[in-house]
Amino acid sequence: MSRDVEFKNRDRFIQLGIAIAALRKMKGMSQEQLAEKANISRSHLSAIEAPRLVRPFSLEIFYNIADALEIDPADLINASVFPDRLNSK
């Protein structure tokens, strides 16, 4: 996968990473725990969650993260667009 991200998608990846980090913390999980459950490295997860770093990732990883967080993938996308929804889960 190319590391280049179209400008219009840059904020989307950042918002998604922030939502993943927030949900992980709400569930009391460390990066190591989530990464293990999602079958990715901790450093990869750290890069995805980093708010100043754009780290594109595959749909497979996205689904693995959603499953590991026990959240519907659509809700994970919605949480990244509408952060107030995080508190209602």
CA distance 83 to 74: 13
Q: Where are the alpha helices (DSSP H) in 1-89?
A: 7-26, 31-38, 42-49, 59-68, 73-81
14-63 residue pLDDT tens? 899 999 999 999 999 999 999 999 999 999 999 999 988 888 899 999 99
67-82 residue pLDDT tens? 999 999 999 998 876 6
pLDDT of residue 8: 73
- Whole-angstrom CA distances from 55 to 24, 27, 28, 70 are 18, 23, 23, 22
Q: Quick one: DSSP state of residue 84?
A: G
Which domains are present in the chain? 8-88 (1.10.260.40)
pLDDT of residue 3: 54
pLDDT of residue 54: 83
